[in-house]
């Protein structure tokens, strides 16, 4: 593993290695065991999209591993304001030990990794969100003691989180059903490549427009905001289209009795999910948010600690 761009590019073994290291680092942190795995290392964090969880978890994670995180907003660097990605990648490679980038265009991350001589971590693009799904898999494993053979149901917008869930579930042998409205389905190429990944693990992938079909017998129900950053102008239209896809008590009851609820946050109670679900006893959203820290520490330790 040279970079973390997409879970599609990782092997099943590499994903489980990340989860194993994350478990170990989490346990040791809870037991007061300090680490200097990344002592003297610097992570450059490029943000053209703002974030609460991404910035805090990466910055705190680097500090806990003995390294230093350097925040770089779009106002701080020339990327996207005249300087080519090629030049930016080459310059940063001479200053720092790794790059985390959270941005819009997925091709920018691919290019940054192509031209950098240091590891690049995809903190989010409009196409994928691999760091989030590593945290999701860690959370599910902690509460279900396995991943293979479980069923995850995703209900809502066929967005970057849904895409990375397709890859993540396929790689670890977890069945996934994705329910989206017509016109808001997942990217066709992502679905097809995830199905190819699933052939190696036996995972089943189902796409449907029916949320009831998706959640039937699910072990995990997952949703995300209907209006992502940059889609604010579509808010009224999207709320009207997605109202049939709300995760509420009635829909949740169609899953397995011991099903758990996940949401990558931020959540909008009363829209994509009701309070009774997200604040209910089967919700793991804050465990999931915490696990962003531990999963990303594992990624950084494996990539930058070599």
**Any idea which residues carry the catalytic annotation?**
102, 129, 132, 224, 264, 292
User: Is 169 one of the annotated binding-site residues?
Assistant: no
User: Is 54 one of the annotated binding-site residues?
Assistant: yes
Sign of CA dihedral 274, 280, 285, 288: negative
Q: What is the DSSP string of 233-267?
A: GGHHHHHHHHGGG-B-HHHHTTS-TT-EEEE-S--
User: Is 1 one of the annotated binding-site residues?
Assistant: no
CA distance 42 to 45: 10
User: Is 6 one of the annotated binding-site residues?
Assistant: no
* Closest among 151, 142, 145 to 30, alpha carbons compared: 142
CA distance 9 to 20: 19
Sign of CA dihedral 279, 266, 293, 126: positive
User: Is 186 one of the annotated binding-site residues?
Assistant: no
Tokens of 289: 């948010």
User: Is 228 one of the annotated binding-site residues?
Assistant: yes
User: Is 238 one of the annotated binding-site residues?
Assistant: no
User: Is 292 one of the annotated binding-site residues?
Assistant: yes
CA distance 293 to 100: 14
| Alpha-carbon torsion, ordered 75, 131, 2, 101, to 10 deg | -10
User: Is 31 one of the annotated binding-site residues?
Assistant: no
User: Is 279 one of the annotated binding-site residues?
Assistant: no
User: Is 265 one of the annotated binding-site residues?
Assistant: yes
Cβ-contact 306, 101 below 8 angstroms: no
* Closest among 214, 209, 218 to 177, alpha carbons compared: 214
User: Is 129 one of the annotated binding-site residues?
Assistant: yes
**How many other β-carbons are positioned within 10 Å of the β-carbon of residue 87?**
13
User: Is 53 one of the annotated binding-site residues?
Assistant: yes
Q: What are phi and psi of 153, to 5 degrees?
A: -110, 125
* Closest among 1, 9, 98, 84 to 46, alpha carbons compared: 98
Residues within the annotated binding site for L-ornithine? 160, 224, 228-229
Residues within the annotated binding site? 51-54, 78, 102, 129-132, 160, 224, 228-229, 264-265, 292
Residues within the annotated binding site for carbamoyl phosphate? 51-54, 78, 102, 129-132, 264-265, 292
């Amino acid at each position: 593993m040279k970079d973390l761009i997409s879970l599609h590019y990782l092997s099943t073994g590499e994903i489980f290695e990340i989860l194993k290291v994350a478990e170990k680092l989490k346990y040791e942190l809870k037991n007061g065991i300090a680490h200097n795995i990344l002592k003297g290392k610097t992570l450059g964090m490029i943000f053209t999209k703002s974030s609460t969880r991404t910035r805090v978890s990466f910055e705190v994670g680097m500090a806990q591993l003995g390294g230093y995180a350097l925040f770089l907003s779009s106002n701080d660097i020339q990327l996207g304001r005249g300087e080519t990605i090629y030049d930016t990648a080459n310059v940063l490679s001479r200053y720092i030990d790794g790059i985390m980038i959270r941005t819009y265009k997925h091709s920018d991350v691919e290019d940054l990794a192509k031209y950098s001589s240091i590891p690049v971590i995809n903190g989010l693009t409009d196409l994928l969100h691999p760091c989030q799904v590593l945290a999701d898999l860690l959370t599910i494993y902690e509460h279900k003691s396995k991943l293979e053979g479980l069923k995850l149901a995703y209900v809502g917008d066929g967005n970057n989180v849904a895409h990375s869930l397709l890859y993540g579930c396929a790689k670890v042998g977890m069945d996934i059903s994705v329910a989206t409205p017509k016109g808001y389905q997942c990217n066709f190429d992502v679905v097809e490549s995830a199905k190819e990944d699933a052939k190696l693990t036996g995972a089943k992938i189902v796409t449907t427009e029916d949320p009831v079909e998706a959640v039937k017998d699910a072990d995990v129900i997952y949703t995300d905001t209907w209006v992502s950053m940059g889609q604010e102008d579509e808010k009224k239209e999207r709320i009207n289209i997605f109202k049939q896809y709300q995760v509420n008590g009635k829909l949740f009851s169609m899953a397995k009795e011991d099903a758990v609820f996940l949401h990558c946050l931020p959540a909008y109670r009363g829209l994509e999910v009701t309070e009774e679900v997200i604040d209910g006893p089967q919700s793991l959203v804050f465990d999931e948010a915490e696990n962003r820290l531990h999963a990303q520490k594992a990624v950084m330790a494996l990539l930058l600690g070599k």
